[in-house]
Structure formats: structure tokens, C-alpha cells
Homo-oligomer: A and B are copies of this chain.
Amino acid sequence: MHNTLTPTIQEEFEKAFGTQFVTSLSVREHHARDESAYDKTLPDAVIFARSVDDVVKAVKLCHTHSIPVVAFGAGTSIEGHILPIHGGITLDLSEMNKVLSVDDQDFTVTVEPGVLRHQLNDEIRHTGLYFPIDPGANASIGGMVSTRASGTTAVKYGTMRENVLSLKVVTASGELIRTSSRAAKSSAGYDLTRLFIGSEGTLGIVVEVTLKVYPVPEEIIAAVCAFPSLEDAVNCTVMIRQSGTNIGRVEFLDANAIKAVNQYSHLGLKELPTLFFEFHGSSTGIQEQISLIKELAQECGGADFEWANKTEERSRLWTARHNAYFASLQLRPNSRSITTDVCVPISALARCVRETAEDLKAIQFPWTMLGHVGDGNFHVLMMIDPNNDEERAQAEALNHRLVQRAIAMDGTCTGEHGIGIHKMEFLKEELGLPVVDMMRRVKHALDPKNILNPGKIFSWE
């Protein structure tokens, strides 16, 4: 049903985009892979969009000629989302990177999709506001919308689902629409904003995002605490959640992950299961939280809190946490990571982590376990030799067992990474064919030619 980029069609694109239309191998290779363990898949060409008009123009041409079009932001996805598996055009949005407006009365910002989250916070720092959602990678806002990203702060601020107010989207036919007003809430028809969030570029191309932002907390204190066992650390998290405390961050790293970050970031942390905490609020509010968390940690055998009050100490800790992915890869040179991403109800978390640790004993190659345990979400990174099919098969089998374990606990196969091409089978196992078919019918209705990131989330038929 798709066309290939014939010379005549290519000519049309060249005429329309001039030097923004690129077919050089190096550029196509740069858009051929994300942070998954997949081999490179090259697009036929890359268009560097600089404006909404560029996106409209590109999608209209793709629509006319039934050419696949894949939106590309920072390339930090991990399930093969941006691989152009049906060829066609990769639409690079990284040059659409302007913060368009900041409203410090309504606590909203409006940005282009290529804006990176670090850049956003740098550019609005002078307003005393910030955007807390933090998936670890310095992802693009458009990409974070498309995968329904979350990360370390979701436990307090929610995910992209809760923090996107409104979107401008270019539809499959190249029409520019806006999904909602800037009101804090609305009951005006179907929630198209939420429909596009997490749709992985399969329903439209996000060209403008209005986000909620928050006043920088009066005070922020970080802490690290080691626990005798993996289960003790997880149980402490569960108790914190169940206390109803409004903690800013609570992250889990197993002993392997601590070893990796110690090496990579030159930290001297005890190589034990560890929780990273962050407290946001007024100083009295924080003191209340801290005394409670200390109590709960002690009950779970946690000892020697290491505190970080100064910004630089804090950012040293959290940078280390954020580099856990690269640190893990360093445990084995030239490896690629197969990364799991289940999320389970908090009451099932300890059992899910314990059974997964048991399961991991079979694995011969390096692995680390870490996660946003406050949400019931954790990851296993398995550092495979990408050329070793047996290792890949072993890692995929463990991933599959973990997903089945999570689903049996009424959890999900992906807390924040998305489906991409890697988890299409898992999606069926989690929700069942009738539900996937309902998604498919929505896709058919909104992209009848199947040009928008085809072959992702579910099959066309």
C-alpha cells in the first residue's frame, strides 16, 4: 500500500525542500536507530523541518504519494519507535526548537516539539518556574508527548498525560489542528489531547505543545540510603507510598546498578540495594517528610542516610542516577542494552522485583535493575553482545517472562517507554485482541493510508 521514493517523487520533495531534503548515507544512518538493541534501518530520505508549514508541506506530499513519514526528535526512544521499517521519509523536528511563550501567571509554556527538556528548563529558569517531568534522557518534548513519558518525578507531578494542556498536530492529510484550549480543565468532547499523547507518531505529528510548569520548590533536599536487601528497599518504598507522603522522587538502584554508577560517575556509594530520595516543598513540610521517611527506612533496615542539600551535591547524585543507562553499558564494552519496563500496582511491587531477581540468576552477561519504584515501575538493563543471538534470545525470554509476571499482577508491559515495534505482542497479551483492534479502528479512521509511523504499536490488519 506504500509507495517507494521514485525519482519523480523525490524530485517533488527536492523542489519543495531544497537543502532541507537530504539523502546522504551519513544523515540517513544518523536517523536509523534509537537506544534499543535493534540493527540500523535507514529511511529513504530525511527532511529537516524548520516550521509548521514545513511539516504540513511534507505530510501533504507523503499523503499524496502514500509515502511513510516518521517523526524524529532526539532519538532517545528504546523500543524501536523511530525506525523507518517501511522506508519513506524521516521528518527531523530537532530544528523546531523554540520556546514560543511562557505564561508565569497561568504556569504554562508553549514550545516547539524539538525543544529538549534541559533546554526548556534553562530557558525558563529566570521565571522561577520549571518543567519537572524527567525521563532521564535529555529527550525532546515532542518525543515525550509521543511516548507518554514520565520518569523520576512522576510520583509527585504525574506523567506527560497529566502535564500536557494542549497540542497542535498535523494530521495524516496534512491539516493543522489544535486539540484543546488552554483552560485547566474541559469537558468539551472527546479528549483528543490524551489520544495523541502516547500515540507514537501514528495518528499525527505534534508541532506545538502547551505544558504545565511549576514554581521551583522553596526547598529541595536529596538523600541516598542503602538497604541490606533488595526487598527491604522496595518495601520501604511501598510503605512511603502507602503513608500518602507527597515525596518528590524515590528511585531504586540494585547493587549492580550502584556498582555501575560508582565506576562511571566516580561515586563511593556502598554497593548495596539503594534508594535515592528527593523532597520538595517548604522547609517545615520537608522536615515532616524527612522524619517520616527516616522512620520507615529504619523499619526496613535502611541506614546511613547521605544528605545532599546543596544544588551541586544534588545534581551530582542525580546526574549519576541519570547516567545509569550509559554506566550500565560501560559494564560491558560494545554491548547494547535490552531494557525492560514493567509497572505493577504498588502492592505487587516487592513480589515482582523479588521474582525477577530470582529469574535473573540464570543470566550470564551483565545486568542492572533500577526504577521509579514510587509508581511501581522498574527496569532491568541486560547488556548483550548484539551479535550473539543466544544472548539476545535469553534476554528477550527474560523480558517476556517479566511482562507475563507483571500482567498476572494486573500491571502493564510498559510503564513509560511505549510499544514501538518491540512490544507489539506484549500489548496483545496485556489488553487482548478486541482492545488492540479498537486502537486499530481509530488508526484506520484517522490515517486511512497508514503513512504515519507505520508498523508501530500494532499491525495494520
Give Cα A158–Cα B441 distance, bound, in whole angstroms: 30
Answer whether A184 and B105 are a contact pair too, CB < 8 Å, given A161-B194, A244-B215: no
- Is A148 a contact of B191 with CB atoms below 8 Å? yes
Answer whether A189 and B439 are a contact pair too, CB < 8 Å, given A215-B244, A343-B184: yes
A195 within 8 A of partner (CB): yes
Give Cα A430–Cα B181 distance, bound, in whole angstroms: 8
State how many angstroms separate the Cβ of A237 from the closest Cβ of chain B: 12
- Is B415 a contact of A189 with CB atoms below 8 Å? no
A171 within 8 A of partner (CB): yes
Interface residues of A in 416-448 (CB under 8 A from B): 416-419, 423, 426-427, 430-432, 434-436, 438-439, 441-442, 444-446
Give Cα A377–Cα B187 distance, bound, in whole angstroms: 11
A208 within 8 A of partner (CB): no
State how many angstroms separate the Cβ of A219 from the closest Cβ of chain B: 13
Cβ of A107: which chain B residues have Cβ within 8 Å of it? 242
Interface residues of A in 168-188 (CB under 8 A from B): 171, 175, 177-188
- Is A187 a contact of B410 with CB atoms below 8 Å? no
Cβ of A347: which chain B residues have Cβ within 8 Å of it? 103, 105-106
Scoring A residues 364 to 389 as 1 if CB is less than 8 Å from chain B, else 0, what string do you get? 00000000000111000000000000
- Is A187 a contact of B434 with CB atoms below 8 Å? no
Cβ of A179: which chain B residues have Cβ within 8 Å of it? 431, 435
- Chain A interface bracket (under 10, 10 to 19, 20 to 34, 35 or more): 35 or more
Cβ of A192: which chain B residues have Cβ within 8 Å of it? 435, 438-439
State how many angstroms separate the Cβ of A232 from the closest Cβ of chain B: 18
Scoring A residues 274 to 310 as 1 if CB is less than 8 Å from chain B, else 0, what string do you get? 0000000010110010000000000000000000000
- Is A186 a contact of B343 with CB atoms below 8 Å? yes
| 3 smallest beta-carbon distances between A and B, as pairs | A194-B194, A445-B445, A105-B347
Residue of B nearest to A106 (CB): B345
- Is A184 a contact of B345 with CB atoms below 8 Å? yes
- Is B189 a contact of A458 with CB atoms below 8 Å? yes
- Is B183 a contact of A344 with CB atoms below 8 Å? yes
- Is B438 a contact of A184 with CB atoms below 8 Å? no
Answer whether A345 and B439 are a contact pair too, CB < 8 Å, given A242-B105, A431-B178: no
Give Cα A299–Cα B269 distance, bound, in whole angstroms: 50
Most buried by B among A149, A159, A183, A347: A183
Scoring A residues 326 to 351 as 1 if CB is less than 8 Å from chain B, else 0, what string do you get? 00000000000000010111110000
A39 within 8 A of partner (CB): no
Answer whether A191 and B197 are a contact pair too, CB < 8 Å, given A179-B435, A347-B103: yes
A87 within 8 A of partner (CB): no
- Is A439 a contact of B190 with CB atoms below 8 Å? yes
A147 within 8 A of partner (CB): yes
Residue of B nearest to A166 (CB): B410
- Is A183 a contact of B411 with CB atoms below 8 Å? yes
Q: 15 other contacts beyond A105-B238, A442-B445, with CB at 8 A cut-off?
A: A158-B162, A161-B185, A177-B438, A179-B435, A181-B407, A183-B412, A187-B341, A187-B412, A187-B416, A188-B412, A188-B423, A188-B431, A190-B439, A191-B195, A445-B445
Give Cα A192–Cα B434 distance, bound, in whole angstroms: 12
State how many angstroms separate the Cβ of A231 from the closest Cβ of chain B: 16
Q: Which of B171, B199, B203, B288 contacts A285 (CB 8 A)?
A: B288
Most buried by B among A171, A188, A242, A426: A188
A115 within 8 A of partner (CB): no
Answer whether A185 and B154 are a contact pair too, CB < 8 Å, given A106-B345, A199-B190: yes
- Is B439 a contact of A442 with CB atoms below 8 Å? no
